Amino acid sequence: MAAIINGKEISKQIKDELKEKVSKMKASGVEPCLAVVLVGEDPASQVYVKNKKNACEYIGIKSLSYELPESTSEEELLKLVDELNKNDEVNGILVQLPLPKQIDEDKIIRAISPDKDVDGFHPESVGRLSIGEKGFKSCTPAGIIELLKRSNIEIDGKECVIIGRSNIVGKPMGMLMLRENATVTICHSHTKNIKEVCKRADILIVAIGKREMIDASYVKEGATVIDVGMHRKEDGHLTGDVDFESVIPVCSAYTPVPGGVGPMTIAMLMNNCVESVER
Ligand code: GUN
């Protein structure tokens, strides 16, 4: 029977560990503070931002909330980021993506000080990750590493196949798995014989954004399958990029959707925020 990797439980453990750390920090007179910036009224972004603020409250991190209208200009947002960069009270800055079309996301990401880049999206953070230097790690890939380690799933020397090459998940995931001494392959839309490549994987990480695309024909017997996808079905339930009814009889462990990778992203954001203070 395949084991369920319980992201909800593991993220709770991490948040409880952080809560203890923050309480000690506060006793010594330091209060971590995250600035959360939301532009516009995208319903999914509103939910994500609310969950992030709730996590801050649970752990004891102060959160400053900036909710700006859809019509906000790039200049106005850059001005706010600049103020937050200069504000000594603020340890971390989170600008929720996507941004309205008149704002260049890349410009905003680059404007955030690398010292406060708790999302780990700044080119300096990405570069540091790539050469194994200390820096903020992109939250979803860092959360997946924690899920594997805390579930005692060996990474060192294993074949890891990642499907998807986004800047936020696929690429940093590859770098982090490499740091853990896995042999890494990243597949994408131009990859030939994708099933054969996936079937080599001891750890298969799926981040393609296509609902239930990966079935048992992509999975080696006994593999661990990590699903980064999130889709809402017609009946309102959530599902991922993996067709688990098909995959569960073949794999040895898997992350469910919901309750797998999702809760870990927020836990690792909180971890980055606490790390930002420790530096
Ligand atoms: N939008 C979707 N996921 C994320 C995330 O991890 N960080 C930010 N800033 N925006 C997002």
How far is it, in rounded angstroms, from Cα 18 to Cα 49? 19
* Residue 245 CB neighbours (<10 A): 10
CATH number for 234:
3.40.50.720
DSSP-derived pairing of the beta strands 203-206 and 224-227: parallel
How far is it, in rounded angstroms, from Cα 266 to Cα 277? 17
How far is it, in rounded angstroms, from Cα 51 to Cα 1? 33
Is 148 found in the same domain as 98? no
Edge-to-edge strands of the sheet including 92-95? 62-68, 33-39, 92-95
Percent of the chain residues past pLDDT 90, beyond the cut: 99
Average pLDDT of the segment spanning 20-24: 98
Q: Output the pLDDT for position 25.
A: 97
Is 181 found in the same domain as 243? yes
> Ligand 1, from 46, 52, 93, 96: best to mutate by most atoms within 8 Å of Cβ?
96
Nearest CA to ligand 1 atom 2: 97
Is 231 found in the same domain as 179? yes
Is 231 found in the same domain as 162? yes
Question: Ligand 1: distance of its center to the CA of 96 in Å?
Answer: 5
In 3D space, the residue among 22, 58, 255, 61 whose CA is nearest the CA of residue 145 turns out to be 255
* SS3 of residue 43 by DSSP: helix
Is 144 found in the same domain as 67? no
Question: Ligand 1: distance of its center to the CA of 275 in Å?
Answer: 19
Is 245 found in the same domain as 207? yes
Is 235 found in the same domain as 155? yes
How far is it, in rounded angstroms, from Cα 236 to Cα 233? 5
Positive/negative CA dihedral, 181, 187, 191, 194: positive
Is 183 found in the same domain as 104? no
* SS3 of residue 55 by DSSP: helix
Say which DSSP state 254 is in.
Answer: E
Could you tell me if residue 7 is inside a domain? no
Could you tell me if residue 124 is inside a domain? no
For 179-211, how does the pLDDT look when each residue is reduced to its tens digit (9 = 90+)? 999 999 999 999 999 999 999 999 999 999 999
β-pair partners for 183: 159
Could you tell me if residue 18 is inside a domain? no
The atom of ligand 1 lying closest to the CA of 139 is 6
Q: Output the pLDDT for position 279.
A: 83
Could you tell me if residue 9 is inside a domain? no
Could you tell me if residue 256 is inside a domain? yes
What's CA 22's distance to the chain center, in Å? 21
Is 247 found in the same domain as 177? yes
Could you tell me if residue 102 is inside a domain? yes
Phi, psi of 207 (to 5 degrees): -140, 65
Q: Which domain holds residue 102?
A: 29-113
Average pLDDT of the segment spanning 44-62: 96
Written as one letter, the residue type at 262 is: G
139 lines ligand 1 (CB under 6 A): yes
pLDDT at 124 over 90: yes
Say which DSSP state 112 is in.
Answer: S
The atom of ligand 1 lying closest to the CA of 119 is 7
Q: Output the pLDDT for position 185.
A: 98
Could you tell me if residue 201 is inside a domain? yes
Residues belonging to the chain? 279
Is 160 found in the same domain as 246? yes
Is 238 found in the same domain as 148? yes
- Active-site residues, by number, are 52, 96, 119
Band (118; pLDDT cuts 50, 70, 90): very high
pLDDT at 141 over 90: yes
Find where tokens 């060996």 sit. 154
pLDDT at 219 over 90: yes
Domain count, the chain: 2
Band (265; pLDDT cuts 50, 70, 90): very high
How far is it, in rounded angstroms, from Cα 136 to Cα 276? 8
How far is it, in rounded angstroms, from Cα 63 to Cα 90? 9
Is 233 found in the same domain as 153? yes
Could you tell me if residue 184 is inside a domain? yes
How far is it, in rounded angstroms, from Cα 75 to Cα 65? 19
CATH number for 93:
3.40.50.10860
